[in-house]
Amino acid sequence: MLNALLFDLDGTLTDTDQLHLLALQQLLLEEDDRVFTADEFEAHVSGQANANMCRYLFPHRSVAEHEAFADRKEVRFRQLSPQLTPMPGLVRLLDFAREQGIGMCVVTNAPRANAEHMLQVLGLRERFETVLVAEELPRAKPDPLPYLTGLERLNARADSSLAFEDSIPGLTAAVKAGIFTVGLATSQSRETLLAAGAHLVIEDFNDPLLWQQIERMLGARP
């Protein structure tokens, strides 16, 4: 059966990692004269909640200082992203899900302001009744709670759902929630995503392998 689609946001609905990296690079250089590399971003920041990011970047700073830096970073990100493009095939999938009566929600570690900004810029805000953000839940990805909450909101079961993720923390969360998880090779390699537990890896939402999986799950409907 297929009754629900749960989407990460950054790197999944739209490719934003380079903008997040640039925002961090600019701020760290301006404020600390610190050079921040793409490799460091991929290893320690991509897909993480801001609290984890700041603990890595500034282990000796206070929580208040972490929150202030995270706010500055997200403001910079929004300034750098006045225009965003949906991942190829995404609108096709959303249209199909709506026609089939399949529930959809966003599950993201991004703060609420970023999530609303990105969905609005993408023209997708009205597509999702539910947008779950980590800062409003007790635990963020890689904990499965965000995805378990998404299933609850959609009144769906894990074995009748698909999750879409591009990062290791997000992938870990969705897999732990028991959902068939599709990795998008935007921020990580196919091999890395498979090693982390992805059930399927695609380049974008037009991938025939994704549509074969959807047809298999739809064919199992009673």
- For 104, phi then psi, to 5°, come to -140, 140
- For 28, phi then psi, to 5°, come to -65, -35
Q: What is the pTM of this model?
A: 0.86
- Quote the pLDDT of residue 9: 95
- Quote the pLDDT of residue 81: 86
Q: If the chain, 222 residues long, is cut into consecutive pieces of 10 residues, what is the mean pLDDT of each piece?
A: 95 90 95 94 88 94 95 92 92 97 96 93 93 93 97 97 95 97 92 95 96 90 44
Structure tokens at 123: 């023209």
d(CA 44, CA 64): 21
- Quote the pLDDT of residue 156: 97
d(CA 215, CA 21): 37
- Report, as residue numbers or ranges, the catalytic residues: 8, 10
- Quote the pLDDT of residue 220: 57
